[in-house]
Amino acid sequence: MTNVPADTTLWALRSAVASHYSDRAFQRWSQLACDPDLDWPAVARLALGHGLGALLYTAIAPVSGPAPPEILSELKQGYRLAAAMNALAMHDLGAILRALDKAGVEVLLLKGAALMNDVYPSPALRPMIDIDLLIRFSDYPAAIIALSAIGYEGTEPEPFQNLNGLYWNELLLHGVQGTRSQLELHWNLLDIPHYAARLPVDDLMRRAAPLDVDGVQALALAPFDLLLHLCAHNLFHHQGLLWRAEVDIAFVAERYRIHTGDLFFRNLGSDR
């Protein structure tokens, strides 16, 4: 095959993931999947290690390349687990949103909670560790009371006084009963005062679009705000190295037709 980098494992994973939104990547992936020398175990390990196993699994069916049965079985297991875990998280999110709505707290979904509901074609394709929500800092006391009433507790002390909400921007909450999901409650988009002061939550919510979750109305970031947050979060919190974030960016770009090129792993080798 021509124009294939030396690291064919990475090249194959890039192509498999990008095949969901790029015709060129789909053609490339179709060729790679049929290559008898493709190291399927290595591709699967790389995908699973970066939370991309479900995307690899769903990229295999449309091509004729025969993945080994044990690889398919492992990926299928991961896909089903992600689907089940996300279904539980969405159930929890519905209860959280109802409690906050009753308390008069307007909520904006961040990261996985928004992406799996509005960007990815299937919730199972976007694994989620915790639920991220954005509220106004002025609603923080009412939100804590409402969440406490349904069994959520903060496990970390407030690090220092934060009267205007600029110097730390989130609280980690855990459900103390049953299988409740971990919840991160934010009141600024970024936890850097310079940017927090320049990205008012009121403006974000004014531009946001309504999103229905389990019959409850919430908000999702406007497309360019969403891209900004995903890029900034990856840069500030993961030094620009989180592959999962790059995939999110590519799917958002395709969903909103901001750019339809092959964006995935753009920093890990040129798409020649």
pLDDT band at 159 (very low <50, low <70, confident <90, very high): low
User: Which of the pair, 101 or 214, is modelled with greater confidence?
Assistant: 101
pLDDT in tens, 117-152: 889 989 899 988 899 999 999 999 999 999 999 999
The better pLDDT of the pair 65, 263 is held by 65
Strands across the sheet with 170-175, in order?
152-154, 170-175, 183-186, 131-134, 108-110, 216-220, 209-213
What is the pLDDT at residue 264? Answer: 47
Give the pLDDT band (50/70/90) at residue 179. low
Using alpha carbons, select from 14, 15, 13 the residue that is nearest to residue 27. 15
Task: Assign 10 a pLDDT band (cuts: 50, 70, 90).
Answer: very high
pTM of the model: 0.86
Structure tokens at 46: 């790389």
Most confident of 60-69, 172-181, 182-191: 182-191
The encoded tokens of residue 272 equal 């020649």
Residue 120 has a pLDDT of 93
140, two tokens: 């923080």
pLDDT tops 80 at residue 165: no
CA distance 108 to 125: 21
Q: What percent of the chain has pLDDT over 90?
A: 58
Q: How far apart are CA 28 and CA 32, in angstroms?
A: 6
Long-range contacts, stretch 2-7, CB < 8 angstroms, 24+ apart = 3/272, 4/32, 5/269, 5/272, 7/269
Give the domain ranges of the chain: 88-206
**Do 185 and 171 meet the contact criterion of CB atoms below 8 Å apart?**
yes
Residue 183 pLDDT > 60: yes
pLDDT digits (tens, 9 = 90+) for 217-248: 899 999 999 999 999 988 888 877 788 899 99
User: What is the Cα–Cα distance from 59 to 22, expressed in whole angstroms?
Assistant: 12
Angle separating helix axes 111-118 and 69-102, nearest 10 degrees:
110
State residue 115's pLDDT score: 94
Looking at mean pLDDT, say which of 1-5, 59-63, 260-264 comes out highest: 59-63
- State both tokens at 208: 């946001």
Beta strands in 9-121 (DSSP E): 108-110
- Give the pLDDT band (50/70/90) at residue 2: very low
Lowest-confidence pick of 82-86, 106-110, 212-216: 212-216
Cα–Cα dist 209/250, whole Å: 20
Contact 196, 134 (CB under 8 A): no
CATH (residue range 88-206) = 3.30.460.40
Instruction: Tally Cβ neighbours within 10 Å of residue 188.
Output: 23
Q: What is the pLDDT of residues 36-83, one digit of tens each?
A: 899 999 999 999 999 999 999 999 989 876 789 999 999 999 999 999
Lowest mean pLDDT among 25-34, 137-146, 203-212, 236-245: 236-245
The residue with tokens 């993945």 is 67
At 216 the pLDDT is: 86
pLDDT band, residue 3 (cuts 50/70/90): very low
Task: Place 160 in a pLDDT band, splitting at 50, 70 and 90.
Answer: low
- Most confident stretch, 3-7, 93-97, 180-184: 93-97
